[in-house]
């Protein structure tokens, strides 16, 4: 299953790239994250493997994330006209995903975030979910992007929302 999402964020490219890459901010915008810890490497840098634990209702999902692209590597003083790329592979029980994020300057004060995701499933339950509810994956990714936008622009923290 493949799909794409995009969103505009009312902040300069360099600021968006730095916020997105900073591990301290992940719990503030990624709903359900319980743990995101590097197993090897430096968080967010090329080749880093991390253990990720997510909570969805009463279900806990654990997977391994590997950073497969970070370009440019230095997110300070990004040259004008350069896009920022992040890519990660996530492997969990019965699931594999590959996500590519591309940040481009829409204007000096606005960033376009484009995300391309691919999922593959190896167990029957996950295959059925992928076949019967592909829009759920697409909507969840868009929600994460909207949550990041609210965090980046307004400082909103998803952990502080009323349940």
Quick one: average pLDDT of 26-32?
Answer: 93
**Domain-embedded: residue 162:** no
**Domain-embedded: residue 108:** yes
Beta bridge partners of 99: 88, 117
**Domain-embedded: residue 163:** no
**Domain-embedded: residue 145:** yes
Could you report the per-residue pLDDT of 50-97, keeping only the tens digit for each?
999 998 888 899 999 999 999 998 888 888 889 999 999 999 988 899
Nearest to 61 by CA among 21, 97, 19: 97
**Domain-embedded: residue 48:** yes
Quick one: average pLDDT of 1-25?
Answer: 94
**Domain-embedded: residue 98:** yes
**Domain-embedded: residue 90:** yes
Range in 4-13, 22-31, 117-126, 138-147 with the lowest mean pLDDT: 117-126
Q: Check whether 163 has a pLDDT greater than 60.
A: no
Distance (Å) of CA 46 to CA 13, 60, 72, 84, 87: 20, 27, 10, 13, 9
Secondary structure class of 9 (helix, strand, coil): strand
Q: Which residue range forms the structural domain that includes residue 42?
A: 2-157
Q: Could you tell me if 92 and 61 are in contact, meaning their C-beta atoms sit under 8 angstroms apart?
A: yes
**Domain-embedded: residue 6:** yes
CATH code of residue 21:
3.30.530.20
Could you report the per-residue pLDDT of 117-156, keeping only the tens digit for each?
999 888 766 666 666 666 778 898 999 999 999 999 999 9
In the chain, the number of structural domains is: 1
């Amino acid at each position: 299953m493949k799909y794409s999402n995009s969103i505009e964020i009312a902040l300069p490219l360099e600021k968006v790239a730095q916020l997105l890459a900073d591990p301290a901010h992940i719990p503030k915008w990624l709903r359900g994250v319980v743990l995101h810890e590097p197993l090897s490497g430096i968080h967010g840098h090329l080749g880093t493997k991390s253990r990720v634990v997510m909570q969805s209702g009463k279900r806990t999902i654990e997977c391994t994330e590997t950073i497969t692209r970070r370009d440019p590597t230095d997110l300070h003083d990004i040259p004008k006209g350069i896009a920022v790329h992040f890519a990660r592979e996530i492997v969990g029980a019965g699931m594999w995903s590959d996500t590519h994020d591309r940040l481009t300057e829409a204007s000096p004060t606005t960033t376009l975030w484009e995300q391309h995701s691919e999922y593959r499933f190896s167990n029957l339950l996950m295959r059925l979910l992928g076949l019967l509810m592909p829009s759920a994956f697409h909507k969840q990714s868009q929600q994460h992007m909207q949550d990041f936008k609210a965090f980046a622009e307004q400082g909103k923290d998803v952990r502080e929302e009323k349940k």
